[in-house]
Structure 1
């Protein structure tokens, strides 16, 4: 590259790497992602900083933990005075553009982007913040999540989610075909393969006879559940509606694989336009996701879990002119903002809690430091953390016994080694990352204090019929041929 590089950041939603051919699992056909990995750097142990949409994306934007920004759940904002990678790149001379979902909550619907090419798919208010379920109501659940994972509700068709991604994609292609002369940052963020698993027919039929491995369930699986697991079994309604039968598991995995290929084809079209416009050799291309998806593993669905299928994400970065590589050292989506600011030569106004991966992208060794993911919000409402370092991973929900797994010997996270004297030093070291690095009591109080305040604002906004949902500034009279 002989000039300031453009940056294309492509984000999928809820895309676990354990279903992707490009990540070493011959299930969803992702030829474009595989080609990107072959010419770029693939981080094979990348994690979300929080396994839920809004908090994960707040970390992606700011490089800060959710417990630093106070963005705990899908109804939480973060301060507009916190610099994001979009602010830093704007100040470096980039035109910063967003097409698609970023799930900003609150009045700031740009957070440093110059403009958005379409609105968001989800509400901008605080309405997706919930207390714990009523323990005296055995039928209480947050949403009726389970039906989205049952075979009768999965298959070929069309959805609002697909409609949104088609608009997101069209606007992104339109932008690339008329890209500015100066450097640009284009973030393209699709909502698929997030459920519902309603799939364009041609993609659904591609997986009609596909060999889709189903999860393994030990006979004593239910006895191995942690307090965190049990809270979300009830939260999702899985204690009343099962998703464990082979028909449901096969349908959800077929739907996921088909939608993952749909997103992969979108990536391919973006790259084709970069080539057509002569931009590819001067454009950094990044592909990732906000978090993963359990897809029936351990009998669980959705995100929020700190197990691997929910916490791990794909992360591929292609910088033209750098050598392809595969890096196994654990990293975080939290590292991406510092990396982008580093690429743009920007000095940080406040230290980020992620680190720049730029030295590793240039071939330097990447230190193995603890990688942290956290979830404290709806469904559990108490501090919960994951720490990964080397082969070892700890999951800790405040007030409950920890779980400790060796992912090299136990990739399925079945053998809890917590309390094993032979690994006591490892357990103590990982636990201290959490207890010494975070004020657990303060986080626990803040989660509840914020909830009460947001409920007051929600009620007033409903009464006033006000909203912050983004409206695209678009003058149709100035489009196309008018002279």
Structure 2
């Protein structure tokens, strides 16, 4: 990359990928050769968290650099307001071409949020149909989610998610080819966001056969008896109707087997995208980021999916590979998705005046890239205000301590250094009273829990009314509809579609077009003598 040149960005995102499924985070089973080769030239963050263990709010945190509740997003059916700046708006102002292929789960009529171009539709609804209702004593999953994803896990020939991600990656690869051939004059930010390995836990035979059944590891913490579970986990038990299903070890192993196969599918797609980047000679000028929106419990404690602040649901991978820095490094400070906003702008060399930027909850990680760091410094914050909660469920982690609090639920305090699987709740113990006091104070400084509770209830009521209206009347859908202009593809008139450009370079020297000359008409004038 030449001096002064702005880097490109290839931003790769998986859905519901827990860090604990990856070899680079200590898993000895899952096979991810392409992610491993990316990690070999990246800075890996060992303590990376999502700020909300649900798809849409987590992505809002990443794009806005702020906790979801700070911008009025509370669950998977909260509108992401068009007036909230994302780092993509700032990249656009700096001359970047911003492109999205795949899932970002935008809710509301604004379906770009700073992406100038979208290559695919989204996979989940953009309306208010998944709005929770905290008035219910026993929560109901608006999505209809239950334990069938576990009971019916295993092999499939095709799935909706495979169809979707195949298209997402295909279009991402093709866009890399186009960017390398025709648009090298502008830096780009290309996000390729898959829906794997989100449940249902099914995969095709070729990926399942990468693993033997007997090598699939089981959860480190088995099911916890109902009367010993925390209140939030008990509500999720009813929400997913776990009492209606007879789940045994074979189901658990099969579901985890399929999940690992889905992770290997993600890995294969990452390989295709990295190969396309290299084929177009873009790998030396492109920052590559790999992360996820949240994790998956995968049967730990008898829990599945996300919706909780336990480590498997909130710990996610983060790899950042920067051109010119080929040595791997591992950093252990506490970081989260809100840090992506300032980090991307910092790496892009984009300075935003303080008066043009709302107070961010994240910080730039750019200065630490390539530098080993072993201390668990910093603080991360998390929210869980969706279905299954009855009040804002808030998380603070500082150093090795994690606090989870919610009105009407007993607090939970864990020492992750000595109890990494969160089996001993130390809240209320005299020996950690000062630690608990400090974390409670941090939560009080970050949130007005009572005011947030009221704001969420009011938002839910408004959205239920609007969704009922939309279902009753005849309104246009908010879902993004991609449009392909075939007149600009392949061999067409005009220099922009010239087939002479390959691998980002001209095969032959350009020839300036010459305007055709009109034949001269014979002169009819007579010479004057």
- Does the TM-score normalized on the shorter chain lie above 0.5? yes
Aligned runs of 1:355-434 on 2, under 5 Å? 355-361=363-369, 363=371, 368-434=377-443
Deviations 1:149-183 (A, max 9, x none): 11x34323211111000000000000001112121
Kindly indicate whether the alpha-carbon contact (under 8 Å) linking 1:133 and 1:235 is maintained by their aligned counterparts in 2.
no
1:478 CA drift (Å):
4.0
Paired residues of 2:16 and 2:296 also in contact (CA < 8 A) = yes
Matches within 5 A, 1:301-312: 301-312=304-315
Q: How many angstroms apart in 2 are the aligned matches of 1:35 and 1:4?
A: 24
Larger radius of gyration: 2
Q: Distance in 2 between matches of 1:94 and 1:233?
A: 46
User: What is the aligned partner in structure 2 of residue 335 from structure 1?
Assistant: 339
- 1:346 matched to which residue of 2? 351
Question: CA RMSD for the aligned pairs?
Answer: 1.9
Residues 138-153 of structure 1 aligned to structure 2 (within 5 Å): 142=142, 143-150=144-151, 152-153=152-153
Q: Quote the offset at 1:229 in angstroms.
A: 0.9
Is the Cα contact below 8 Å between 1:131 and 1:379 reproduced in 2? no
**1:217, 1:239 → 2: CA distance?**
19
TM-score (norm 1): 0.95
Residue range with higher mean Cα deviation, 320-329 or 191-200: 320-329
Structure 1 residues not aligned, in runs of 5+: none
1:202-253 Cα shifts (integer Å, max 9, x gaps): 001222335111124568643431111111111111132243x111110110
Q: Aligned runs of 1:26-45 on 2, under 5 Å?
A: 26-45=28-47
Residues 71 and 78, structure 1, Cα contact 8 Å, conserved in 2: yes
- Aligned CA distance change for structure 1 residues 218 and 469 (closer, same or farther; 3 Å): closer
TM-score when normalising by structure 2: 0.87
Gap change, CA 1:339 and 1:124, over 3 Å in 2: same
CA contact (8 A) 1:13 1:190 kept: yes
Q: 1:343 to 1:482 in 2, by over 3 A?
A: closer
Contact kept? 1:50, 1:56, Cα under 8 Å: yes
Tell me the equivalent position of 1:131.
133
In structure 1, the residue matched to 2:289 is: 286
Matched, 1:165 2:174: no
Once the two structures are superposed, residues 314-338 of structure 1 have per-residue CA deviations (whole angstroms, 9 ceiling, x without a partner) of 0110112234210111110110111
Q: Tell whether 2:298 aligns with 1:295.
A: yes
Give, in whole Å, the separation in 2 of the partners of 1:57 and 1:167. 21
Tell me, what secondary structure is at the counterpart of 2:289?
Answer: strand
1:24 aligned to 26, 37, 40, which one? 26
For 2:176 and 2:222, how far apart are their aligned partners in 1? Answer: 50
What is the match of residue 105 of structure 1? 107
Separation in structure 1 between the aligned mates of residue 27 and residue 134 of structure 2, nearest angstrom? 37
- From 456, 460, 466, the equivalent of 1:451 is 460
Note if 1:261 corresponds to 2:264: yes
Task: Give the number of aligned pairs.
Answer: 479
* Cα separation, 2, equivalents of 1:372 and 1:200: 37
Q: 1:127 to 1:218 in 2, by over 3 A?
A: closer
* 2:479 equivalent to 1:469: yes
